[in-house]
């Protein structure tokens, strides 16, 4: 809520929104969405597809598109299984039987009637054909002796007229109940004027004034109040196409009966001529509507012509919603969802669920979590990568500490160089305050609570942030991750990426002075940015070029001569390729002795540079185990054989161990539990 201060016309003061839930708050848990999207991206999905998959699945408390689509399909199936198309015919038959019965009663009890006339009338009734339409037609000229029978027969004509009009104009059946001749004349006049307007429109001769004149005269027939002739055409054509699909869905016998009965509508052949002309105009002006579809109905609840047309419109709406919810067409967006139709078909709650998904997609795009690259492809933004990395790092911390949700070490180093990070003060902290962050927190809180920060700012414990210091040297870290086809084939692709992102986040947020280089190695090796690695599709080229990866790692170490080299190698196979002196890749399986020798030579070079080395062996291959063990012994390194779920904790733990004293074989997490830890904020 904003308030103006006297004398300051353009100044506003804002406090917390107090009118209920914050209307600007994210509609769903973006963190949950980002975690799920990140997992799919690391599994090889594009960010666009990963986002669509999350929208399909939904979240813990959020209905997804697939569930809405399932409900749409169930609704469609329920309509088809509940109804049949004989409703009007059944109602006409009932009225006819009642009229004939009343006439027979009158003939039996009328003492004044001539016996010959009585016998002739009974013969006419006895000779009625079994076809309802034929019987109604044959009785058109019958001279009813029973007033009740005559009224029931006239109701047949009235019912047929109202049903036929209701097919084209929803609600007409009820509106024309007990209609007078004047009412029927008004309908005929409206149809004549409407056909005239549509004919002019088809020839391109109509104007908006023509439409407005028509609506001024006949607007009561169109409660939806279309704004122009195009809107009127859309409404009429959709309804008429649904009526045609209903007719297409009838058996040939049903259609024949209906066409014969239609001639009796209101006892006016002119009505059928006008409706036929209307249908022709609508089909000519809206040929894109579905005029040829049909459905198979198998239920027990009869549908009249008007109600049946409404059901066929519902089926069309459900088909349209099904396509929208599929999001499988080119250029599909959540904004395509017709919330009004969804509310009509599935209820308001479904529309709210869909609207929430729309807001989620918009939030992911508009709040900086997704961005489009120069090639137009959607990517996870650096902001999204940081958020995802924090979540992965929290998971790593929980696995390493064994204490769900605990922060492993509040102290970041009581003495030493500044880490560049700050955190909220907690009891027992002795680090110096970060005055700028502390005062900023107090100002922001004061303004949010409705205070005037220009007059006075009071500090509270929650405002205080302390600087973090670290007693350590810099490290040059090379994380070598195997990207050969076996990593993807054996389900190690995503854990590898999760590990790289967790380590990257840790170093970028907590050890900013360290230098991390990510190197992927398959048939050849490549230095990768974290965004490139996490979005990397599974590679199916054969080859594990450890030699090339170590070459790149040693180059990284030499660029930072004053930093402690840390070499971390994640692999599930022996080296099967190396770089030749001319730069070409040599591949051989089983491993060629020259390939092994080249790899050993570069590992020795890393050892001479002082690299603290840890191999993370994935899989149970005995040959790999022997090779990795021998490589580690050459450089006094370590070997860790973690479960896939613990790979991230193993790599991060080894890195943290390397930040303390040098260690050899033993605890796979290095000096983590006895040395320094780290704190992962929210």
Give 207-231 pLDDT, tens digit per residue. 999 999 999 999 988 988 999 999 9
- Paired with 4 in beta bridges are 12
Three-state SS at 614: strand
pLDDT, residue 373, reads 63
pLDDT, residue 377, reads 64
pLDDT, residue 16, reads 47
pLDDT above 70 as % of the chain:
84
pLDDT reading at 430 higher than 80: no
* Cα angle: 472, vertex 475, 476; to 5 degrees: 175
pLDDT, residue 465, reads 87
pLDDT reading at 675 higher than 70: no
Residue range 48-57: average pLDDT? 83
pLDDT, residue 592, reads 93
Identify the sign of the CA torsion 578, 584, 586, 587: positive
Distance of CA 465 to the CA centre of its chain: 40
Please, are residues 60 and 32 in contact by the beta-carbon 8 Å criterion? yes
Mean pLDDT taken over the chain: 82
Phi, psi of 239 (to 5 degrees): -70, -45
Looking at 7-11, 154-158, 407-411, which range is the least confident one?
407-411
pLDDT, residue 576, reads 93
Q: Which two tokens stand for residue 298?
A: 């198998």
Interatomic CA distance for residues 191 and 602, integer angstroms: 90
Write out pLDDT tens, residues 345-363: 999 999 989 988 888 888 8
Write out pLDDT tens, residues 258-287: 888 887 777 677 888 888 899 999 999 999
Residue range 633-656: average pLDDT? 84
pLDDT reading at 601 higher than 90: yes
pTM metric for this prediction = 0.62
pLDDT reading at 584 higher than 90: yes
pLDDT, residue 417, reads 52
pLDDT reading at 455 higher than 90: no
pLDDT, residue 174, reads 83
Which is more confidently placed, 653 or 389? 653
Reported confidence tier of residue 512, pLDDT bands at 50, 70, 90: confident
pLDDT, residue 648, reads 77
pLDDT reading at 234 higher than 60: yes
pLDDT reading at 663 higher than 50: no
Q: How many CB atoms lie within 10 A of CB 449?
A: 9
pLDDT, residue 375, reads 61
Interatomic CA distance for residues 79 and 31, integer angstroms: 39
Reported confidence tier of residue 202, pLDDT bands at 50, 70, 90: very high
pLDDT, residue 177, reads 82
pLDDT, residue 568, reads 92
Residue range 287-301: average pLDDT? 90
pLDDT, residue 646, reads 78
Interatomic CA distance for residues 282 and 279, integer angstroms: 5
Write out pLDDT tens, residues 11-48: 444 454 444 444 544 445 677 887 777 777 776 676 77
Three-state SS at 674: coil
pLDDT reading at 431 higher than 80: no
Write out pLDDT tens, residues 540-574: 678 899 999 999 999 999 999 999 999 999 998 89
Distance of CA 113 to the CA centre of its chain: 76
pLDDT, residue 407, reads 31
Residue range 183-187: average pLDDT? 87
CA proximity to 611, closest of 472, 477, 474, 471 = 477
pLDDT, residue 445, reads 85
Residue range 173-196: average pLDDT? 87
* Cα angle: 50, vertex 51, 56; to 5 degrees: 95
pLDDT, residue 659, reads 65
Reported confidence tier of residue 374, pLDDT bands at 50, 70, 90: low
Q: Where are the domains of the chain?
A: 26-82+319-380, 86-296, 414-469, 474-658
CATH of domain 474-658: 3.40.50.410
pLDDT reading at 424 higher than 60: yes
pLDDT reading at 62 higher than 90: no
Residue range 429-450: average pLDDT? 81
Q: Which two tokens stand for residue 177?
A: 């109940």
């Amino acid at each position: 809520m904003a308030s103006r201060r006297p004398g300051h016309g353009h100044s506003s003061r804002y406090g917390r929104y107090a009118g209920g839930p914050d209307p600007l708050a994210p509609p769903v848990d973006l963190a949950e969405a980002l975690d799920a999207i990140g997992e799919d991206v690391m599994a090889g999905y594009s960010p666009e597809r990963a986002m669509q998959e999350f929208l399909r699945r939904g979240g813990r408390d959020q209905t997804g598109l697939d569930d809405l689509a399932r409900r749409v399909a169930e609704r469609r199936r329920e309509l088809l299984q509940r109804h049949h198309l004989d409703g009007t015919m059944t109602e006409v038959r009932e009225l006819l039987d009642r009229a004939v019965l009343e006439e027979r009663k009158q003939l039996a009890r009328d003492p004044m009637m001539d016996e010959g006339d009585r016998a002739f009338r009974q013969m006419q009734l006895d000779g009625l054909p079994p076809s309802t339409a034929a019987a109604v037609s044959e009785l058109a000229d019958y001279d009813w002796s029973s007033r009740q029978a005559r009224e029931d027969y006239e109701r047949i004509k009235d019912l047929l007229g109202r049903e036929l009009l209701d097919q084209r104009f929803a609600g007409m059946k009820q509106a024309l109940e007990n209609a007078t001749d004047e009412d029927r004349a008004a309908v005929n006049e409206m149809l004549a004027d409407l056909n005239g307007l549509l004919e002019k429109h088809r020839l391109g001769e109509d104007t908006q004034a023509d439409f407005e004149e028509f609506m001024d005269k006949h607007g009561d027939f169109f409660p939806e109040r279309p704004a122009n002739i195009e809107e009127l055409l859309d409404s009429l054509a959709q309804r008429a196409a649904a009526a045609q699909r209903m007719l297409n869905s009838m058996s040939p016998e049903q259609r024949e009966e209906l066409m014969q009965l239609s001639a009796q509508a209101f006892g006016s052949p002119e009505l059928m001529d006008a409706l036929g002309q209307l249908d022709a105009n609508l089909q000519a002006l809206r040929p894109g509507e579905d005029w040829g579809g049909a459905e198979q109905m198998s239920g027990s609840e009869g549908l009249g012509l008007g109600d049946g047309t409404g059901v066929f419109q519902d089926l069309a709406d459900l088909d349209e919603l099904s396509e929208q919810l599929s999001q499988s067409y080119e250029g599909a967006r959540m904004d395509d969802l017709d919330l009004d139709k969804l509310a009509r078909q599935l209820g308001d709650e479904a529309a709210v669920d869909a609207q929430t998904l729309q807001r989620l997609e918009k939030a992911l795009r508009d709040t900086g979590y997704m961005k489009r690259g120069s090639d137009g492809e959607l990517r996870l933004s650096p902001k999204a990568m940081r958020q995802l990395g924090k979540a992965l790092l929290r998971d790593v911390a929980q696995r390493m500490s064994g204490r769900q949700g605990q922060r492993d070490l509040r102290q970041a180093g009581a003495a030493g160089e500044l880490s560049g990070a700050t955190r909220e003060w907690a009891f027992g902290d002795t680090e110096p305050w970060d005055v700028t962050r502390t005062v900023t927190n107090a100002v922001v809180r004061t303004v949010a609570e409705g205070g005037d920060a220009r007059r006075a700012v009071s500090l509270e414990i929650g405002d205080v942030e302390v600087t973090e210091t670290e007693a350590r040297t810099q490290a040059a870290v090379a994380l070598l991750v195997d990207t050969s086809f076996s990593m993807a084939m054996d389900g190690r692709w995503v854990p590898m990426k999760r590990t790289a992102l967790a380590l990257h986040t840790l170093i970028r947020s907590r050890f900013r002075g360290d230098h991390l280089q990510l190197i992927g190695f398959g048939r050849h090796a490549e230095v990768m940015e974290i965004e490139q690695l996490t979005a990397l599709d599974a590679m199916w080229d054969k080859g594990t070029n450890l030699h090339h990866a170590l070459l790149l790692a040693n180059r990284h170490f030499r660029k930072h001569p004053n930093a402690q080299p840390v070499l971390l190698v994640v692999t599930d196979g022996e080296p099967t390729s190396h770089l030749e002196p001319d730069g070409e890749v040599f591949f051989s399986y089983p491993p060629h002795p020259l390939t092994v020798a080249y790899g050993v030579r570069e590992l020795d070079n890393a050892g001479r540079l002082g690299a603290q080395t840890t191999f993370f062996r994935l899989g149970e291959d005995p040959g790999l185990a022997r090779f990795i063990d021998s490589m580690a012994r050459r450089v006094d390194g370590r070997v860790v054989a973690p479960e896939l779920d613990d790979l991230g904790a193993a790599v991060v733990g080894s890195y943290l161990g390397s930040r303390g004293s040098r260690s050899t074989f033993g605890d796979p997490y290095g000096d983590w539990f006895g040395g320094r830890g780290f704190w992962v904020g929210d």
